[in-house]
């Protein structure tokens, strides 16, 4: 079974530039998550999708961050414009239905904003 796929793995941009991350979840997983992980910390939820619907985006900085999950499969997370403080690892995860189910994580995208 293929795991969660993320691209790119690494991205270096200058501040004020836009950037986008892509995630393809495990086939059949209806729940998709985007997390931000700073160095030395645990993942923090940015947004959670149930199929196409964003059911929890309370932690997403909506002035510069946006996300979409068209057709309820793969997803894109965008930052525009990027700031120095956005440098972090962006993790995508997916899970099948059920609140007790574990999440499967992709390898992450390491973003460096110069």
Partner 1 sequence: AQSVAQPEDQVNVAEGNPLTVKCTYSVSGNPYLFWYVQYPNRGLQFLLKYITGDNLVKGSYGFEAEFNKSQTSFHLKKPSALVSDSALYFCAVRDYTGGFKTIFGAGTRLFVKA
Binding site for partner 1 (CB under 8 A): 4, 33, 40-45, 48, 56, 91, 93, 99-100, 102-108
Structure tokens at 102: 């574990």
Residue whose C-alpha is closest to residue 95's, from 41, 37, 55 = 55
Please give the Cα distance from 62 to 65 (Å, whole number).
5
Minimum CB distance to partner 1 smaller for 37 or for 81: 37
Structure tokens at 41: 């910390």
Minimum CB distance to partner 1 smaller for 19 or for 108: 108
Structure tokens at 16: 């004020």
Q: Least separation, in Å, of the C-beta of 45 and partner 1?
A: 6
Q: Least separation, in Å, of the C-beta of 59 and partner 1?
A: 9
Q: SS3 for 41? A: coil
Q: Least separation, in Å, of the C-beta of 110 and partner 1?
A: 8
């Amino acid at each position: 079974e293929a795991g969660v796929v993320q691209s790119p793995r690494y991205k270096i941009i200058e501040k004020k530039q836009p950037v986008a991350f892509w995630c393809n979840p495990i086939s059949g997983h209806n729940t998709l998550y985007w997390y931000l992980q700073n160095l030395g910390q645990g993942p923090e939820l940015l947004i959670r999708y149930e199929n196409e619907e964003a059911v929890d985006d309370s932690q997403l900085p909506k002035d510069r961050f946006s996300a979409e999950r068209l057709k309820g499969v793969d997803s894109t997370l965008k930052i525009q414009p990027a700031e120095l403080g956005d440098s972090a690892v962006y993790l995508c995860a997916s899970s099948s239905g059920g609140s007790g189910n574990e999440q499967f994580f992709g390898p992450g995208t390491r973003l460096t904003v110069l």
